[in-house]
Amino acid sequence: MNEHRSGDFQFPTSLLEENDGPGHNPTDNRTMGEIIAARFSRRGFLRGSLAVSAIAATVSPVALMMADEARAASKSAFSFDEVEAGIDDRHHVAAGYDADVLLRWGDPLFADAPEFDPVKQTAAAQAKQFGYNNDYVGYIPLDGSSTHGLLVVNHEYTNPHLMFPGLVSIEEKDGKKAMKQARLSREQVDIELAAHGGAIVEIRKEGGKWQVVRDGGLNRRITATTEMRITGPAAGSDRLKTGADATGTTVFGTVNNCAGGVTPWGTYVMAEENIHGYFSGALPEGHREAANYKRLGIPEGSYEWADHYDRFDIGKEPNEPNRFGWIVEVDVMDPNSLPKKRTALGRFKHEGAESIVAANGKVVFYLGDDERFDYVYKFVTAGTFNPNDRAANMDLLDEGTLHVAKFAEDGSVLWMPLVFGQGPLTEANGFASQADVLIETRRAADLLGATKMDRPEDIQPNAVNGKVYVMLTNNTRRKDDQVDAANPRAKNAFGHIIEIAEDGGDFTATGGKWEVLLKCGDPSVAEVGASFSTDTTKNGWFGMPDNCAVDSAGRLWVATDGNNPEATGRTDGLWAVDTEGEARATSKLFFRVPAGAEMCGPLFTPDDETAFVAVQHPGDGGTDWPEFGRPSYYEDLSTRWPDFKPDMPTRPAVVVITKQGGGKIAV
What pLDDT was estimated at residue 173?
84
Separation of alpha carbons 547 and 145, rounded Å: 25
- Stronger pLDDT, 379 or 569, i.e. the higher one: 379
Residue 249 predicted with pLDDT over 70: yes
What pLDDT was estimated at residue 564?
77
C-beta of residue 589 within 8 angstroms of C-beta of residue 540: yes
Mean pLDDT of 241-269: 98
> Is 278 a domain residue?
no
What pLDDT was estimated at residue 174?
85
Number of other residues whose CB lies within 10 A of the CB of residue 168? 19
What pLDDT was estimated at residue 589?
98
Number of other residues whose CB lies within 10 A of the CB of residue 246? 9
- Stronger pLDDT, 568 or 429, i.e. the higher one: 429
Separation of alpha carbons 255 and 143, rounded Å: 31
- Stronger pLDDT, 236 or 175, i.e. the higher one: 236
The secondary element (H helix, E strand) that includes residue 567 is helix 565-568
Separation of alpha carbons 155 and 136, rounded Å: 8
- Stronger pLDDT, 10 or 289, i.e. the higher one: 289
Mean pLDDT of 82-107: 98
- Domain range for 412: 3-273+325-659
Give the SS3 label for residue 412. strand
Residue 63 predicted with pLDDT over 60: no
- 416-466 per-position pLDDT tens digit: 999 999 999 999 999 999 999 999 999 999 999 999 999 999 999 999 999
**432-433-437 Cα angle (round to 5):** 100
C-beta of residue 497 within 8 angstroms of C-beta of residue 517: yes
Residue 15 predicted with pLDDT over 70: no
Mean pLDDT of 555-581: 93
Q: Categorize the per-residue pLDDT at 591 as very low, low, confident or very high, splitting at 50, 70 and 90.
A: very high
Give the SS3 label for residue 354. strand
Strands (E), 325-452: 327-330, 340-342, 350-357, 362-369, 372-374, 376-384, 400-407, 412-417
Mean pLDDT of the chain: 92
Rg (CA), the chain: 23
Q: How many CA atoms lie within 13 A of 242 on its CB side?
A: 22
Which CATH number goes with the domain that contains 154? 2.120.10.30
Residue 60 predicted with pLDDT over 80: no
Q: Categorize the per-residue pLDDT at 64 as very low, low, confident or very high, splitting at 50, 70 and 90.
A: very low
Mean pLDDT of 63-71: 42
- Backbone dihedral region of 149: left (phi > 0), alpha (psi from -120 to 50 degrees) or beta? beta
> Is 298 a domain residue?
no
What pLDDT was estimated at residue 618?
98
Residue 127 CB contacts under 8 Å (≥ 6 apart), including other chains: 194, 221, 223
Mean pLDDT of 137-165: 98
> Is 491 a domain residue?
yes
- 350-372 per-position pLDDT tens digit: 999 999 999 999 999 999 999 99
> Is 287 a domain residue?
no
Percentage of the chain exceeding pLDDT 90: 87
> Is 458 a domain residue?
yes
> Is 284 a domain residue?
no
What pLDDT was estimated at residue 79?
97
Residue 58 predicted with pLDDT over 80: no
Number of domains present in the structure of the chain = 1
What pLDDT was estimated at residue 19?
53
What pLDDT was estimated at residue 38?
64
> Is 439 a domain residue?
yes
Separation of alpha carbons 298 and 311, rounded Å: 14
Separation of alpha carbons 409 and 415, rounded Å: 15
Residue 10 predicted with pLDDT over 90: no
Separation of alpha carbons 433 and 427, rounded Å: 8
> Is 177 a domain residue?
yes
- 503-547 per-position pLDDT tens digit: 999 999 999 999 999 999 999 999 999 999 999 999 999 999 999
